[in-house]
Amino acid sequence: QAPTFDLERAINDGELRPRYQPVIDLQTGHIAGCEVLIRWEKPNGEVISPGAFIEYAELSGLAIPMTLSLMEQVRDDLEDLCDRHAHLKVGINLFERHFRDGSIVEDVQSIFGATNIRYSQLVFEITERQPLSDMGGVNAVIHALRDLGSKVALDDAGTGHSNLAYIQKLGIDIVKIDRVFVELIKHRNQPVPVVDALISMANDLGTEIIAEGVETEEQALYLRKKGIRQAQGFLFAPALPVDAYLALAERMN
Ligand code: G
Ligand code: G
Ligand code: MN
Ligand code: NA
């Protein structure tokens, strides 16, 4: 993929668009909400995945403007759905920088404050792929978001720097088990110790769990037997354009 020095113009021209991957309640089969996943939709129809531009966004200082544009679009896309279905959650991926400088709290208030999307419907995901510097600042922001009523999820759990003490200090609400672990599940009755360990860790911490990258019925059955309620993955749906997500949300509600 060509380097993306065109990113600032693309943000301003509305080419960076949200897609919505449904999160399913494994116990009931109903929809629990979604994760917002960004895509760059070029005017020629080409769709570029975030892997190709997310690092450039971070390095070029466009991470925050890109996230703000995305959150505004999410608000416009989902306000009506969220208003009518208060239990539906919306997961938004944040850059570490946005946590660190604290501006995320004001940004969330100014974008969602006067809308029919409740703060309690928002889940902010922070990845543990990169180490979180400045624990003090990050901690304060997490607490401020939780004080609004939103939840904070640790994304890509198990792949990076998580350990019990670290997660406990952060005070997060949800652990998202990365798909590299879910991939290890081959059969509903064949134990996968590393998955079980992550589940135990989350249970010990008292956090919710969302399993990512669920692709097979066997994986879903295994996770359900372990008491996991929430899952996302190609078994259910990929990240969908807004109209497809809204239709699915009504159908599976
Ligand atoms: O959707 P896809 O599998 O291509 O996403 C690849 C990576 O990009 C994932 O790690 C995902 O968390 C990240 N990502 C997707 N959308 C966003 C976004 O809006 N903001 C941030 N910070 N990361 C995102
Ligand atoms: O890091 P994060 O969890 O935010 O990234 C989610 C990424 O995983 C997105 O790029 C999304 O498109 C991708 N993804 C979602 N579901 C599946 C799945 O079932 N299998 C695989 N291989 N990738 C998935
Ligand atoms: Mn995520
Ligand atoms: Na992940």
> Which ipTM score applies to this complex?
0.95
Please check the confidence at residue 85 and state whether its pLDDT lies above 80: yes
Burial class for 20, CB neighbours closer than 10 Å (0-12, 13-18, 19+): buried
* Average pLDDT of every residue of the chain: 94
Cβ of residue 54 lying under 6 Å from some atom of ligand 1: yes
Lowest mean pLDDT among 98-102, 107-111, 213-217, 247-251: 98-102
> Residue 176's beta-bridge partner residues?
210
Pocket residue to mutate for ligand 2, from 92, 234, 235, 240, most atoms within 8 A of Cβ? 234
Map tokens 């669920």 to a residue.
Answer: 214
Percent of the chain with pLDDT over 90: 84
Closest CA to 88 of 145, 141, 36: 36
Q: Which atom of ligand 1 is the closest one to the Cα of 18?
A: 19
Count CA atoms within 13 Å of residue 210 on its CB side.
Answer: 28
Residues 201 and 196: their CA atoms lie apart, in Å, by 9
Q: Which atom of ligand 2 is the closest one to the Cα of 49?
A: 10
Residues 53 and 26: their CA atoms lie apart, in Å, by 33
Specify the pLDDT at position 82: 98
Cβ of residue 239 lying under 6 Å from some atom of ligand 1: yes
Q: Which atom of ligand 2 is the closest one to the Cα of 234?
A: 19
Specify the pLDDT at position 1: 46
Specify the pLDDT at position 231: 98
Specify the pLDDT at position 135: 75
Please check the confidence at residue 226 and state whether its pLDDT lies above 90: yes
Per-residue pLDDT reduced to its tens digit, 164-201? 777 888 889 999 999 999 999 999 999 999 999 999 99
Specify the pLDDT at position 123: 98
Q: How far is CA 81 from CA 20, 67, 85, 116, 243, in A?
A: 13, 21, 6, 9, 11
> Residue 118 C-alpha to ligand 1 middle, in angstroms?
23
Specify the pLDDT at position 5: 66
Cβ of residue 206 lying under 6 Å from some atom of ligand 1: no
Topology (CATH level 3) of domain 23-36+61-251? TIM Barrel (3.20.20)
Residues 189 and 106: their CA atoms lie apart, in Å, by 47
Q: Average pLDDT for residues 45-63, to the nearest whole number?
A: 94
> Residue 37 C-alpha to ligand 1 middle, in angstroms?
5
**What pTM did the predictor assign?**
0.96
Q: Which atom of ligand 2 is the closest one to the Cα of 232?
A: 16
> Residue 35 C-alpha to ligand 3 middle, in angstroms?
7
Coil, strand or helix: which one is 145? helix
Question: Residue 131's pLDDT band (boundaries 50, 70, 90)?
Answer: confident
Per-residue pLDDT reduced to its tens digit, 74-83? 999 999 999 9
